[in-house]
Structure 1
């Protein structure tokens, strides 16, 4: 959601057995996203789609939904730093815009094939990361997340200063096609030269770029489609307003049908 979501950096401060989140004077370990006036229920939507990602086996950053005075806010834990007593371990984390030497304003340029090349070039576990990346593109299509641009993928150090990088846990997952129904694009970046009218065969062709066999890709697609009922159940149980739930469920039904062929 470009330029829409407000973000506050927070630190978890512990004293005398009590913990509280604070805005200032400490290194930050959390990011809080409150409600915005421009769009309805963004925190609820992000928490739902992140939970759906968890359910289908995607690695995600720690996340939760907070409520105060009847208002929801989405909170996530930073994975590029780790607090240990009086020390902080900092992990280098570079998004694909940086790795592709692009400016932030160029985050919608490129393609998912280009993203795959970035993983091949820099990841220290290319096979696992390529499989995870492919699953994220499939999943984003199913839930209407049409905002997976270059800055929404990152590589992160496996340990502080060791220079070995892997695909970071997923973050910033939203059902954009539901929140912004006027956005008709199904993908943020081209895949097989397409951002709209994407079909099952496009994902099978793209699998080759990711180094996946047709059999492996078909198994991943079949497994994701088979979890449709689980995704719908999560939607029904979520805090997302009912009319948005219905819209998302209809979209999931349509997109899984496309993948099923």
Structure 2
């Protein structure tokens, strides 16, 4: 897109998708992009930017490269609380299906096909992902800090949770947000 590292967040999802669409001529690859982006929004990957999506070539065919540099940022204190940094339909948070359909339409993907793919991803996020939390090493801790105050006191560590506990708590909170935004009802996921 002609953006360097300093400006990689200065775009919108729509601009990025219009640009990528010029290269992704296969509907299957455009659907792959939508699935990647939906998953990124689903897990709250605030660090998604124009340099986190790439395409590759297989002969004369251009395909989506595998996802990289992707993890939830919601467990960190120093984030802005966005579901995505690049706005989707003018929004960074409280993304709903109708907002995501703007990207689906840009990619010329049938909405029902997208809904099926998104439903599968949402089901796995809800029911399969928690199986991995208990497998995490219990020694990994997440530390929370107090905020510095006006009297100049430095932040101090106040709480340590295991990574598994942190991810479980966040996951439960995220499911409630997704329910509130209608994702479960609209995609028919229980």
Output the TM-score relative to the length of structure 1: 0.55
User: CA offsets per residue over residues 198-228 of structure 1, 9 Å max, x none?
Assistant: 1222123331112112211222222222221
Alignment partner, residue 129 of structure 2: 231
Verify the 8 A CA contact 2:136 2:164 in the aligned structure 1.
Answer: no
CA–CA distance in 1 between the matches of 2:87 and 2:129?
Answer: 25
Offset at 1:167?
A: 1.5
1:133 aligns with 2:30: no
1:212 aligns with 2:109: yes
- Runs in 1 of length 4+ with deviation above 6 angstroms? none
CA–CA distance in 2 between the matches of 1:197 and 1:149?
Answer: 18
User: CA offsets per residue over residues 14-66 of structure 1, 9 Å max, x none?
Assistant: xxxxxxxxxxxxxxxxxxxxxxxxxxxxxxxxxxxxxxxxxxxxxxxxxxxxx
Offset at 1:119?
A: 2.1
Offset at 1:181?
A: 6.0
> How many residue pairs are counted as aligned between the two chains?
158
Verify the 8 A CA contact 1:144 1:177 in the aligned structure 2.
Answer: yes
Alignment partner, residue 166 of structure 1: 63
Of residues 93, 106, 110 in structure 1, which corresponds to 2:11? Answer: 110
SS of the equivalent of 1:254 reads helix
Higher strand share: 1
Alignment partner, residue 170 of structure 2: 248
CA–CA distance in 2 between the matches of 1:152 and 1:111?
Answer: 14
Q: 1:249 to 1:113 in 2, by over 3 A?
A: same
Superposed CA RMSD: 2.1
Superposition pairs for residues 1-261 of structure 1, below 5 Å?
100-123=1-24, 125-158=25-58, 164-180=61-77, 182-227=79-124, 228-239=126-137, 241-257=163-179, 258=181, 259-261=183-185
Output the TM-score relative to the length of structure 2: 0.73
**Structure with bigger RCO (C-alpha 8 Å, 6+ apart):** 2
Q: 5+ residue gaps in structure 2?
A: 141-162, 186-190
Verify the 8 A CA contact 1:116 1:130 in the aligned structure 2.
Answer: no
